Amino acid sequence: AQSVAQPEDQVNVAEGNPLTVKCTYSVSGNPYLFWYVQYPNRGLQFLLKYITGDNLVKGSYGFEAEFNKSQTSFHLKKPSALVSDSALYFCAVRDGSGGSYIPTFGRGTSLIVHP
Amino acid sequence: ETGVTQTPRHLVMGMTNKKSLKCEQHLGHNAMYWYKQSAKKPLELMFVYSLEERVENNSVPSRFSPECPNSSHLFLHLHTLQPEDSALYLCASSQDVGTRNTEAFFGQGTRLTVV
């Protein structure tokens, strides 16, 4: 079985400071990892993904994520937060080696960036 | 815009009403999904369609009835709902269920309130 954990329900950061939203995963095969963002009353929007290759993945709006196989983590980062980054962030995993094709989503982390 | 359109955006219905949610994608995708998003709960996968055939039905009550007449359109027919069915209903599409390294594209959702 595959699973995703987002250990923080909420992350608070001041504008201009770096931000990190944490994600850890469990999957029996090769992990395919995704980050999505959801603004209020909107659907999820894809930010970035890790499939293979470079452990540091760059995505939309200046976000990046680092894949760490030994720690089974895929934390989302941004060097300098904007107030407009305030939203709900979801991490998701798919098993790239077989098993269920259905992606598993985390519970979401609310990011609040203070002016 | 993600290429996935949901209508209506908001819906208020009584417990005895019958209504339908509509989802349309023009991305050439072969897989379509219905998710339920309730406050303080993880995303719940409801149904998955692959090339108009239902491939997943996650123990969803029969008062929710999906329909996929073609690979571009997906409906969710609602009847005799309960107040706890109030939620944001999200439609998504992806290239196909078997291509695991691709992301999903979500619609903006239908905010459903059952009174």
Q: Report, as an integer, the average pLDDT of A3-8.
A: 95
Poorest-pLDDT segment among A53-62, A80-89, A104-113, B92-101: B92-101
Please indicate if any CB of chain A lies within 8 Å of the CB of B60: no
Q: What is the pLDDT of residue A107?
A: 94
- Give the residue from A95, A101, A107 with the most B CB atoms within 10 Å of its CB, the best one to mutate: A101
Confidence check: pLDDT of A33 > 80: yes
Among chain B residues, CA nearest to A95 = B100
| Residues B1-56 pLDDT 10s | 669 999 999 999 999 899 999 999 999 999 999 999 998 788 999 999 998 888 88
Q: What is the pLDDT of residue B73?
A: 96
For residue A114, the distance in angstroms to the closest alpha carbon of chain B comes to 22
> Do A32 and B101 count as a contact with CB atoms less than 8 A apart?
yes
Q: Report, as an integer, the average pLDDT of B53-73.
A: 91
> Do A90 and B106 count as a contact with CB atoms less than 8 A apart?
no
- Listed residue (A40, A32, A82) closest to A60, CA to CA: A82
Backbone φ/ψ region at B29: left (φ over 0), alpha (ψ -120 to 50), beta: beta
Q: Which two tokens stand for residue A97?
A: 């080696």
Q: Which of B97, B106, B111 sits opposite A44 (nearest CB)?
A: B106
| Residues A82-104 pLDDT 10s | 999 999 999 999 988 877 788 99
Q: Which of B92, B100, B108 sits opposite A101 (nearest CB)?
A: B100
Name every chain A residue with its beta carbon within 8 A of the beta carbon of B3. Answer: none
Residue B99 backbone dihedrals phi, psi, to 5 degrees: -90, 95
Q: What is the pLDDT of residue A95?
A: 87
**Mean pLDDT score of chain B, rounded to an integer?**
93
Residue A37 Cα distances to B17, B66, B67, B84, B86, angstroms? 33, 26, 28, 25, 22
For residue A93, the distance in angstroms to the closest alpha carbon of chain B comes to 10
Q: What is the pLDDT of residue B53?
A: 86
Q: For chain A, give the percent of residues with pLDDT over 90.
A: 83
Q: What is the pLDDT of residue B21?
A: 98
Provide DSSP, B16-76: T-EEEEEEEE-S--SEEEEEEE-TTS--EEEEEEETTEEEEE-S--TTEEEEEEETTEEEE
The band of B100, judged by pLDDT with boundaries at 50, 70 and 90, is confident
Q: What is the pLDDT of residue B1?
A: 64
Query: What is chain B's length?
Result: 115
Q: Which of A34, A41, A95 sits opposite B103 (nearest CB)?
A: A34
The band of A111, judged by pLDDT with boundaries at 50, 70 and 90, is very high
**Mean pLDDT score of chain A, rounded to an integer?**
94
- Listed residue (B71, B60, B69, B64) closest to B13, CA to CA: B64
